[in-house]
């Protein structure tokens, strides 16, 4: 199938598929005319990558996940460790976002939001020690 059909089936834009091919995550076959030719297996791998990226895995982590997926002698402990590491990373991001939200909430509550020029939000941002 051509890249347009692979894109439709995987939900990825053709540009992203070309990028994944460029960095070696997916290697499409080439038809006699030189065009990329994707099989159902390619689409399966693209779906795997798409879902992995949606779960927050980096491109390099996707590369590792694909290698583990392809390795029938893999130990599931490796996959679990990668997932647990990602959960720890997500938890840290959530804590950071909660802190940012609390800071912005406080600043918004202390700002009068009226015709006066003084604004604690702008003062905090200009202080250099925000958040």
What angle do helix axes 14-22 and 40-54 make, rounded to 10 degrees?
100
Q: What is the pTM of this model?
A: 0.79
Q: Give the pLDDT confidence score for residue 61 in this predicted structure.
A: 96
Tell me the C-alpha distance between 50 and 27, whole Å: 15
CB atoms within 10 A of CB 8: 13
Tell me the C-alpha distance between 89 and 83, whole Å: 10
Task: Give the DSSP letter of residue 31.
Answer: -
| 23-60 pLDDT tens trace | 999 999 988 888 889 999 999 999 999 999 999 999 99
Task: Dig out the tokens for 32 from the structure.
Answer: 């006699």
- Domain 1-74 adopts which CATH fold? Multidrug-efflux Transporter Regulator; Chain: A; Domain 2 (1.10.1660)
Q: Which residue ranges in the chain fall short of pLDDT 50?
A: none
Tell me the C-alpha distance between 65 and 88, whole Å: 17
Cα dist from 73 to 17, 44, 93, whole Å = 28, 20, 33
Specify whether the CB–CB gap between 49 and 25 falls below 8 A: yes
Specify whether the CB–CB gap between 13 and 21 falls below 8 A: no
Ramachandran angles phi, psi of 37, nearest 5°: -130, 115
Give residue 9's Cα distance to chain centre. 19
């Amino acid at each position: 199938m051509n890249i347009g059909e692979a894109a439709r089936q995987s939900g990825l834009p053709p540009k992203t598929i070309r990028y994944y091919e460029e960095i070696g995550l997916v290697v499409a076959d080439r038809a006699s005319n030189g065009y990329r030719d994707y099989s159902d297996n390619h689409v399966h791998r693209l779906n795997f990558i798409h879902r992995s990226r949606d779960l927050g895995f980096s491109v390099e982590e996707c590369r590792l996940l694909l290698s583990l997926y392809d390795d029938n002698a893999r130990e599931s402990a490796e996959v679990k460790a990668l997932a647990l590491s990602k959960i720890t990373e997500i938890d840290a991001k959530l804590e950071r976002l909660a802190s940012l939200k609390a800071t912005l909430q406080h600043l918004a509550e202390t700002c009068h939001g009226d015709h006066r020029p003084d604004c604690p939000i702008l003062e905090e941002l200009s202080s250099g020690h925000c958040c």
